[in-house]
Chains A and B, each alone.
Chain A
């Protein structure tokens, strides 16, 4: 039994969610990984040394550089014949391409798995994580996306996989599928902070932050804790922070060691994205706010007073 895991690379490194996907599939057997795009040599070296990886396949072509679903799904489909499982992390790219590949293979994708029970049996959250379904697939090839927050990432070192180029026929299939869509532009919100989905600490602000400028109050705290800054949907919709900060059922799912929710009420959809954090802190002026029910440490306070105090207190340490 061998799984093919599509992995994402950035500046020659492998993204952490992809390493979590490798860890999930490694529970079942051998793992081959697929790298797609251009200038893959540094990423291929990095991929080959990830613990648990037996082989690195590289698909080098400009049509694959932007993870467009059409060529990527065609590539995965062309390669799938050799594998029992085709998987990727449930990132924007994974969620975009894997269900397309599944349909090309006439398989029902199993999205966002949080548990591996066996070769054909997986656990996945439904209803914003208020229920966990154990499902058994009857498809010959199981196509999966993996919730990164649910699996500790495979170690970046310790492996010594071989690397080979994907067969030309698979690359041709990808190129042929690229005629109807084209990447136009990116608007990437640059940040020196850790990636939200991979950070050890996340500090999130909600509607209670009241304005975009006030998110600056969270920065010194995030700096001191090495944290990523997240947000509720209300904070994103109000334009306080960009869309990619949204934590929740329909945003990014996080499970850091420490999650600090500031001015967030704790709607079901927000909780769905953070309730598996190890320690949860909530700061809210409304003692009835539902966020307190999941918080290990709740502080009923006005955030505009408590946040500067928290910064000062952390500075003492």
Chain B
């Protein structure tokens, strides 16, 4: 087991923001009795696996090429007395098109209902990465954006204003360089804040769709919301139905979507324990 940092801190220390990382207890593959499920999404090759390793203490193989994570990896960590299960999703550019990777990532966000979704964003390619962030924000409110690769952005002479991004997106945006373990404390704090409801996300929704669309979306959203009260993403479901998404139509028919209105997060429908350890 890969427990690397001390678990018992005096209560006084725990309150001090300087000691955030000391509050992190890396649990490796031990993740029973978790309080929160955290999903890790992002474009390919933005350093998701590096963030994953930094949080769990696992050593999932990282490599500088897109598409490296082929199975979903899971790990655990404990932060300030709460246990988190972290799920590393395959890297995708969007959640719209139908590649198996995108479907896996989307299904987990939709049916796995993570308590917090961390979207890892490449700070040198903010615009393209935001496409995915915006789509994730349509599915779930509780999002933390990890603005990774800040060191590279600096090297390329880019300035990325994380506070402006936080304002625009309505969710915490934390700058980081996971390769150098910078900003991990901020990510942890943000995950904890969102999970505990201390940061209330007001996610940016896509508004500038054509006017003739607006009416259709509004009509369908209202009807879905009335049949499935408590569904957090009725508008997104409406958009998918209008797009003729078979998977979502199926999910509605089978009642998979109906369960999402319930109070407790369900285990993902497509659970497939995939621990990468030991297969290389």
* A, B from the same assembly: no
Q: Which residues of B contact A (CB under 8 A)?
A: none
